[in-house]
A and B are shown apart, each in its own frame.
Chain A
Amino acid sequence: MKTKTDTIRVIIAKVGLDGHDRGVKIVARALRDGGMDVVYTGLHRTAEEVVDAAVQEDVDVLGVSLLSGAHMTIFPKILQLLKQKGADDILVVGGGVMPDDEAAELKKMGVKEILLQDTPPEVIVSTIRRLVAERGPK
């Protein structure tokens, strides 16, 4: 088992009025099996709460799952809050269901990757590893 290493830390969050967390639990489990520490916030958090939690947990990656359709409101807010707190080195990754053109737009705003509902678990794990490797050590 790893002891003295830089285990990747990920926080997985559900924001707003969205009670569907079967997907995030599967993602959390896949990342755990990929050797990462995964903090799960639980349902119905605000963007502020999620960003505060991400800062306190000193995560490498903030993963936000959204099935409510509010992604074009919530992601920009999260990006802005991270910037305000001087924490914009935290990599934001989105998941859930959304139109391709909006996913592209979110990536332009600074969301590092959007993993839609048909992404295989191993791709989620490898994507997180790649993004963290690209960013370099914290």
Chain B
Amino acid sequence: MMRRASSLDLVDAVSAGEPRAIARMLSRAESGAVEARSALDLIYQRTGRAHVVGITGVPGSGKSTLVAKVAAQFRTRRRKVGIIAIDPSSPFSGGSILGDRIRMGEVTGDPGVFVRSMATRGALGGLARGTLEAVDILDAAGYEVVIIETVGVGQDEVDIVRAAHTTVVVSAPGLGDDIQAIKAGVLEIADIHAVSKGDKPEADKTVSDLKGMLGLGVALAGRIVGRLAPVVKTCAPKNEGIAELVEAIDAHREYLASSGELEQRRQAIRERRTLKAAEVILHDEFENHREGRMAALLAELGTGRISPQTAARRLLAHVGMEASE
């Protein structure tokens, strides 16, 4: 029976691509269940085949619509596609509305596409807790392309580079001028720029702003460093630019493989994953141990005798994490 099947019992069914087992394993990864750890370790050993593509951009830029089209395009090339679509959790109730599927009607019901929605549950940086384990599961289950659609990001949430081999940044036209294009942050992480809503008159301006920004980098360095990120104009409802975008994604994969950068990226992903996992463990330990300590500190803070900095140090000392000076 599926219900209460142990995670270890699910591993082979995940490898065999059974949807229910994959789905259940994804839930276990998402909840961070201790019981699932050794199963996830086994699954990790069976990964390494999938091309992991991150798609990020501001809310409403058209990520979900684009992801559906890109997935459909990969399907015409006979590749199985896993999609992890992330939406925010409420900071108040912890609940969420996961609406990315609304745009994915086109690939719903295709057995070669597995779509899973995840809520951020307080994780910052654009990904959800358990996203990277979810990628492992879909990879081990035989999905050749795994697309991570981040939560709608602002300017600074760049965790996707911790997970993806190829990062596509989606820019919607009409949201800013050429100064936005030279700011630091999300735009810098793009391996490929996709401009969405290409039927809007401002789309060409956005394309040229992005190209201008990339050209500036070349001018400053005096040469092309590595590889220049292509800018692809798309209009998803009309299916325009989608084949070009998928070709750019494949070309990037080729580039990674032939330049030797793929292994570098993989190692960087491993490093960041390890560090992030350690951070999460620390954070959880802290959450578990701090309970009951805040009331007394808040009373003292209220009198104005101590500062939040001092209170924080005392709190840490109490949970056994003495801060070094």
Residues of A within 8 A of B (CB): 1-7, 9, 28-29, 31-42, 44-46, 48-49, 52-53, 55-58, 85-87, 89, 137-138
Q: How many A-B residue pairs have CB under 8 A?
A: 114
B95 within 8 Å of A (CB atoms)? yes
**Residue pair A57, B93 in contact (C-beta under 8 Å):** no
A-B contact pairs, 26 of them (CB 8 A): A1-B89, A1-B91, A2-B121, A32-B90, A32-B97, A33-B93, A35-B94, A35-B95, A37-B96, A37-B98, A38-B96, A38-B98, A40-B99, A40-B101, A41-B102, A41-B108, A42-B102, A52-B108, A53-B108, A55-B20, A56-B22, A56-B116, A57-B23, A58-B24, A85-B20, A138-B3
**Residue pair A4, B115 in contact (C-beta under 8 Å):** no
Tell me the bound Cα distance from A42 to B102 in angstroms. 5
Of A1, A34, A137, chain B has the most CB atoms within 10 Å of the CB of: A1
- 9-residue interface stretch from B26-34, B73-81, B205-213: B26-34
Tell me the bound Cα distance from A79 to B259 in angstroms. 52
Tell me the bound Cα distance from A32 to B91 in angstroms. 11
B60 within 8 Å of A (CB atoms)? no
B215 within 8 Å of A (CB atoms)? no
Q: Which residues of B contact A52 (CB under 8 A)?
A: 19, 108-109
Closest chain-B Cβ to A27's Cβ sits at a distance in Å of: 11
Tell me the bound Cα distance from A9 to B118 in angstroms. 10
Closest chain-B Cβ to A52's Cβ sits at a distance in Å of: 5
**Residue pair A40, B102 in contact (C-beta under 8 Å):** yes
Closest chain-A Cβ to B316's Cβ sits at a distance in Å of: 20
Tell me the bound Cα distance from A2 to B129 in angstroms. 12
**Residue pair B97, A138 in contact (C-beta under 8 Å):** no
Size of chain B's interface in residues, with CB distance under 8 A?
40
Closest chain-B Cβ to A84's Cβ sits at a distance in Å of: 12
Q: Which residues of A contact B26 (CB under 8 A)?
A: 58
**Residue pair B121, A89 in contact (C-beta under 8 Å):** no
Of A1, A42, A53, A56, chain B has the most CB atoms within 10 Å of the CB of: A56
Q: Which residues of B contact A37 (CB under 8 A)?
A: 89, 95-96, 98, 117, 119
B2 within 8 Å of A (CB atoms)? yes
Majority SS of interface residues in chain B? mixed
Q: Which residues of B contact A6 (CB under 8 A)?
A: 31
Tell me the bound Cα distance from A49 to B108 in angstroms. 6
Q: Which residues of B contact A55 (CB under 8 A)?
A: 19-20, 23
B284 within 8 Å of A (CB atoms)? yes
Tell me the bound Cα distance from A7 to B90 in angstroms. 13
Closest chain-A Cβ to B196's Cβ sits at a distance in Å of: 19
Q: Which residues of A contact B89 (CB under 8 A)?
A: 1, 37
**Residue pair B95, A56 in contact (C-beta under 8 Å):** no
Closest chain-B Cβ to A13's Cβ sits at a distance in Å of: 10
Q: Which residues of B contact A32 (CB under 8 A)?
A: 90, 93, 95-97
Q: Which 10 A-B pairs have the closest CB atoms?
A: A42-B102, A58-B23, A32-B95, A39-B98, A49-B108, A58-B27, A35-B95, A2-B94, A49-B109, A1-B122
**Residue pair A46, B109 in contact (C-beta under 8 Å):** yes
Given contacts A55-B23, A86-B2, whether A41 and B97 have CB atoms under 8 Å apart is no
Tell me the bound Cα distance from A38 to B88 in angstroms. 11
List residues 213-228 of chain B with CB under 8 A from any CB of chain A. Answer: none
B238 within 8 Å of A (CB atoms)? no
Q: Which residue of A lies closest to B121 (CB)?
A: A3
Among candidates A4, A31, A42, A57, residue contacting B95 with C-beta atoms closer than 8 Å: A31
Tell me the bound Cα distance from A43 to B133 in angstroms. 31
Q: Which residues of B contact A35 (CB under 8 A)?
A: 93-95
Q: Which residues of A contact B23 (CB under 8 A)?
A: 55-58
B105 within 8 Å of A (CB atoms)? yes
**Residue pair B102, A3 in contact (C-beta under 8 Å):** no
Q: Which residues of A contact B115 (CB under 8 A)?
A: 53, 56
Tell me the bound Cα distance from A4 to B283 in angstroms. 12
Among candidates A3, A28, A45, A137, residue contacting B97 with C-beta atoms closer than 8 Å: A28
Tell me the bound Cα distance from A58 to B21 in angstroms. 9
Tell me the bound Cα distance from A5 to B102 in angstroms. 26
B305 within 8 Å of A (CB atoms)? no
